[in-house]
Amino acid sequence: MVELDPTDLTKEQLKEIIEDFANAAERAKRCGFDSLVVHRAHGQLPGCFLSKVINRRTDEYSADTIENASRFTKELLAAIRKKIGNTMAIEYRINASDMVEGSPSLDDEIAFAREIEDKIDLLHVSRGLHAMQNLAPYMNQPLHYPHGINLEDAAKMKEKLQIRIPVIPLFNHDEENIRKTAEFCKELGDAVTMIQLLPYHNLGVMKYLRISDKPVAEATPPSEEYMQKLKGIMEEYGLNVSIH
């Protein structure tokens, strides 16, 4: 069900894994990155400690209490922060639900998020497990699925939300799409404090071409005038919108 079951890992192995994460973060810092992601969703190891279906430990890393279930993550984040200081933002990806019977409830996940909220800069809410192919659309959302399928759970994770929306030509940059997105954000009510529109750019195209022989879809970054137009559309719904 998961890539690495925490049940049989020794405490020494847990320390080694934490050290590996921290060293990777330090390398990212040396490379000049501004932020990093700690992936706890989709069956990744940090997320397994909260699940009683997966984690059958009986020690201080058990799933019996939120304190125990969050211990590995707290130690992991502390080790990372020690390596990178305040020079990088930490995004933490979490599941609102594993979507399998017996998995942690949304209330459990919210309690977990509150345990670590002072140690991260951004909470990324997803759902599902990689091992369950039928759940793939919730992790990699196809075009025919409703937009923002994880936003309602994200709103419950945090009282206040800032939603970042990449505006990508050939994907979601048309006015109808933006209106539907605005309607959905409006339905979330006071939980949404800011909408940030992120115009597509092609700065990574040359790097992509160096590592892949697959063609790149031809897409032109939206103009400032067009971005202002989309901003105006969203503001019609009473939303606080900025362009980044």
Domain holding 65: CATH number? 3.20.20.70
- Do 131 and 181 lie in one domain? The reply is no
CB atoms within 10 A of CB 109: 24
Residue with tokens 């020079």: 87
Instruction: Evaluate if residue 97 carries a pLDDT over 80.
Output: yes
DSSP 8-state class, residue 199: E
Nearest to 197 by CA among 215, 211, 185: 185
- Do 189 and 222 lie in one domain? The reply is yes
- Do 212 and 147 lie in one domain? The reply is no
Q: What is the signed CA dihedral for 96, 99, 102, 106, rounded to 10 degrees? A: 20
Mean pLDDT in the chain? Answer: 85
Residue with tokens 């949304």: 106
Residue 238 structural domain: 160-244
- Do 148 and 183 lie in one domain? The reply is no
CA triple 89-103-80, angle to 5 deg: 20
Of 158, 181, 216, the position where a domain reaches its end is 158
**3-class DSSP assignment, residue 65:** coil
- Do 127 and 239 lie in one domain? The reply is no
Largest CA distance in the chain: 59
pTM of the predicted model, to two decimals?
0.66
- Do 169 and 153 lie in one domain? The reply is no
pLDDT band for 78, please (50, 70, 90 cuts). very high
CB atoms within 10 A of CB 182: 21
- If one counts the domains in the chain, the total is 2
Q: Report pLDDT for 204.
A: 63
What is the average pLDDT across 157-172? 76
Residue with tokens 């699925």: 145
Of 158, 176, 197, the position where a domain reaches its end is 158
Lowest mean pLDDT among 52-56, 81-85, 212-216: 212-216
Element (H, E) at 163: strand 161-167
Nearest to 163 by CA among 177, 176, 148, 149: 148
CA 199, CA 241: separation in Å to the nearest integer? Answer: 13
